[in-house]
């Protein structure tokens, strides 16, 4: 199809093989995976049919896509182990997922897939077993025609840029690193794919976000980071409720009962807005400013002020988040936390940096799946 001019890019997880390199040009590898056997694990007859090692494939019928790398691998196993596998090649136009579904439904006994696709499908078909590897780690990539070097160059450039952005990791982790969590989230009444809801407190969050002019999904991301939407939480330090407010902060922002969800969330929203106003005075870039807000909420305003003062002291840009990160991390070293410009002293500040990024990552995830009913992030 590609070389016939019917498309320009094969945006599909293809295993890089020597044979395929004769026909297409591969992008730089996206990730590594290995091939696994897909079989049912909970059949009445599974004791006799369950494959636990490659020798067990002798005389078994395995369905795979025609002319796929799975055919080649099964033939290699046959030759190496001197066994006879009944390799049934389905149409080259069939989809791997359709064969996996047929295994789950008991229509066929075995197929082969890449481990990462097997893990995702096991979310939807828990009865599947994808634990038996049949190959070593292999590089996975997209492909273009061999006569498209400029397209390949641009595609690699785009991939490298995209993989450095938070959205890529949000998507990758959602579907590949946390499939069990994704399944639980997908079957919950508060799933992002079920009814545009996140928690029992969505309306309270939306109301508070509207009052401070924020996107409610951003405020929800912070609530999740603080309490996982579990009310009446209390930290070892005494922080309370959905927004994990310290008693003095709760009182300052008018939450007389920090265990009351509406009071707690509204007080937390007011606190965030006050931090935003603080950083609006000196930081123009919106992303840097919001990271400062999130990190300040997590560790305290004074440590962020110290980091910027250190940047100025050492003649670096105090409005560049990477520079701010640098000096936050250095605040654990005496040379820096004892510097005369530092007022808040020692800080082991890895956590506020990670916290700020987690909030933004979760916000991106929520934006991808939930509609907004308030103001966008400034």
Active-site residue set: 226
Report the distance separating Cα 255 and Cα 241, nearest Å. Answer: 11
DSSP type of residue 194:
S
Q: Which of 275, 351, 287 is nearest to 320 (CA)?
A: 287
Cα 269 to Cα 254: distance, rounded to the nearest angstrom: 11
Dig out the tokens for 205 from the structure. 């969050």
Residue 126 neighbours by CB under 8 Å, 6+ apart: none
Task: Please provide the size of the chain in residues.
Answer: 378
Report DSSP state, residue 235: -
Q: Distance (Å, rounded) from C-alpha 289 to C-alpha 321?
A: 9
**Local structure of 318: helix, strand or coil:** coil
Measured CA to CA in angstroms, residue 188 lies from 176, 201, 308 at distances of 19, 15, 43
CB atoms < 10 A from the CB of 185, how many? 17
Binning the chain into helix, strand and coil, the percentages to the nearest 5 are 50, 15, 35
**Whole-angstrom distance, CA of residue 212 vs CA of residue 326:** 31
**Strands (E) located in the chain:** 9-15, 24-26, 31-33, 35-40, 61-65, 86-90, 111-114, 128-133, 138-145
Q: Mention every residue, 6+ apart, whose C-beta is less than 8 A from residue 201.
A: 223, 229, 231, 242, 261, 265
The position carrying tokens 């079957």 is 187
Reduced to 3 states, what is the DSSP secondary structure of residue 37?
A: strand
């Amino acid at each position: 199809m590609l070389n016939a001019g019917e498309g320009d890019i094969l945006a599909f997880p293809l295993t890089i093989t020597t044979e395929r390199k004769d026909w297409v040009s591969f992008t730089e590898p996206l990730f590594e995976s290995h091939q696994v056997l897909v079989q049912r694990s909970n059949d009445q007859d599974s004791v006799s049919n369950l494959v636990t090692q490659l020798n067990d494939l002798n005389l078994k019928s395995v369905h795979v896509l025609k002319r796929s790398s799975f055919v080649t691998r099964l033939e290699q196993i046959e030759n190496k182990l001197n066994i006879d596998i009944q390799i049934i090649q389905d149409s080259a136009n069939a989809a791997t997922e359709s064969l996996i579904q047929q295994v789950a439904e008991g229509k066929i006994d075995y197929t082969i897939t890449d481990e990462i696709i097997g893990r995702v499908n096991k979310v939807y078909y828990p009865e599947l077993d994808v634990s038996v590897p049949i190959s070593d780690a292999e590089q996975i990539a997209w492909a273009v025609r061999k006569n498209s070097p400029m397209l390949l160059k641009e595609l690699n450039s785009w991939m490298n840029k995209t993989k450095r952005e938070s959205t890529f990791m949000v998507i990758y982790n959602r579907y590949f690193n946390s499939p069990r969590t994704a399944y639980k989230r997908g079957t919950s009444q508060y799933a992002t794919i079920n009814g545009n809801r996140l928690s029992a407190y969505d309306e309270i969050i939306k109301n508070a976000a509207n009052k401070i002019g924020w996107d409610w999904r951003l405020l929800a991301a912070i609530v999740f980071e603080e309490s996982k939407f579990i009310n009446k939480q209390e930290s070892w330090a005494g922080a309370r409720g959905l927004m994990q407010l310290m008693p003095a902060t709760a009182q300052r922002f008018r939450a007389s009962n920090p265990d009351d969800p509406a009071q707690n969330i509204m007080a937390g929203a007011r606190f965030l807005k006050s931090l935003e106003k603080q950083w609006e005075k000196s930081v123009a870039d919106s992303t840097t400013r919001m990271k400062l807000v999130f990190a300040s909420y997590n560790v305290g305003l004074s440590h962020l002020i110290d980091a910027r003062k250190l940047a100025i002291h050492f003649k670096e840009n105090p409005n560049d988040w990477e520079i701010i990160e640098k000096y936050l991390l250095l605040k654990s070293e005496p040379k820096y936390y004892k510097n005369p410009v530092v007022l808040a002293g020692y800080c082991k500040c890895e956590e506020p940096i990670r916290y700020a990024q987690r909030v933004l990552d979760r916000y991106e995830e929520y934006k991808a799946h939930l509609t907004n009913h308030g103001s966008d992030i400034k």
